[in-house]
Amino acid sequence: MPRVLIVGDERKGRVREVLGAVVDVLQRRGVEHEVELDREAPLAGREADLVVVLGGDGSILAAARRMGPDQRPTLGINIGRLGFLTAFGDDRAAEGVEMALDGKLVEEPRLMLTCVVERSNGGSDDSVLFLNDVVLSAKPGAGIVRLIAARVDRELGAYSGDGLIVSTPVGSTAYSLAAGGPILSPRLEAVVLTPLAPHSISVRPLVLPVGDGFELRVEDAGNCDKCSLMIDGQVAKDVSPEDVVRIETTETRFRQLTHGPANFFAVLREKFGWSDEPRRRH
């Protein structure tokens, strides 16, 4: 008999309402379940065969990070705005859970990476697992900053401007897209480096295989002594010119439940109106 872990943020509206619909399904089917509404509580090691996340894309990102290397098949129920990573809207929560329990959804692995900051004093911060992106950017009022992206002993590029986004394929439809980056198929093992307001018109987004990872350095923090590092839009750090930001590969994959590979493009059209032109009615 499967065990289900339901994850949500009790501070968000309608979570308890949708939670009730999900619990009703599980109770009717005699499925053992647990509810976790503290968005900071760790999820690694929790006994579950299925994780149901009630919320938007941010809730999905947080759940993926909190599961750590112990990823479980995850179903997203959208209670947010865009909900690009979720499979069902809140009005279809019960249906979504039923389909997941009946094996009617497709589990698709999504690339995850880790980010660690090596400090100038020889120490390093805790490694952070992420699903979406890492953004190294200027602090407010800092003006133009200069960042270096490198792989092993090879420099990839120098970026003068507001900063740089390193995005996974999942994150390519988020901040990177808004900054002019390309959309990557979520099935790719690649990243995109997207500059933020580059000072040169010749600087463009760059798609690269994951390889052995990357490192970012602050060469000039502008009018401040540090730059800002944001991981998945939720974990914030300061980075000085003497520090090194390492983005490393991991075998961990987010186990997203979807309607199937073709659904990615259907969601693009639905959420973004992608590759669709006005059509005349005959």
Q: What is the pLDDT of residue 59?
A: 94
| pLDDT exceeds cutoff 70 at 275 | no
Domains and CATH numbers, the chain: 3-104 (3.40.50.10330), 112-251 (2.60.200.30)
pTM: 0.92
* 57 is an active site residue: yes
Q: pLDDT tens-digit profile of 228-265?
A: 999 999 999 999 999 999 999 999 999 999 998 877 88
Q: What is the pLDDT of residue 14?
A: 86
- pLDDT cut 70: percent of the chain above it: 96
Cα–Cα dist 149/111, whole Å: 20
Mean pLDDT of 165-175: 97
pLDDT tier at 18, thresholds 50, 70, 90: very high
Mean pLDDT of 69-75: 97
Q: What is the pLDDT of residue 162?
A: 97
Cβ atoms within 10 Å, residue 185: 11
Mean pLDDT of 38-54: 94
CB-side neighbour CA atoms (13 Å) of 206? 16
Please list, residue by residue across 152-162, b when 16 or more beta carbons sit within 10 angstroms of its beta carbon and e when fewer do.
eeeeeeebbbb
With beta carbons less than 8 A apart as the criterion, state whether 15 and 8 touch. Answer: yes
Q: pLDDT tens-digit profile of 175-220?
A: 999 999 999 999 999 999 999 999 998 999 999 999 989 999 999 9
Active-site position among 57, 90, 133, 232: 57
Q: What is the pLDDT of residue 135?
A: 98
Q: What is the pLDDT of residue 219?
A: 97
- pLDDT cut 90: percent of the chain above it: 83
Q: What is the pLDDT of residue 279?
A: 56
Q: What is the pLDDT of residue 192?
A: 98
Cβ atoms within 10 Å, residue 11: 9
DSSP secondary structure letters along the chain = --EEEEE--TTSTTHHHHHHHHHHHHHHTT-EEEEE--TTS--TT---SEEEEEE-HHHHHHHHHHHTT----EEEEE-SSS-TT-SEEGGGHHHHHHHHHTT-SEEEEEEEEEEEEEPTTS-BPPPEEESSEEEEEPPTT---EEEEEEETTEEEEEEEESEEEEE-TGGGGTHHHHTTPPP--TT--EEEEEEES-SSTT---EEEE-TT-EEEEEEE-TTSS-EEEEETTTEEEEE-TT-EEEEEEEEEEEEEEES-TTHHHHHHHHHH-TT-------
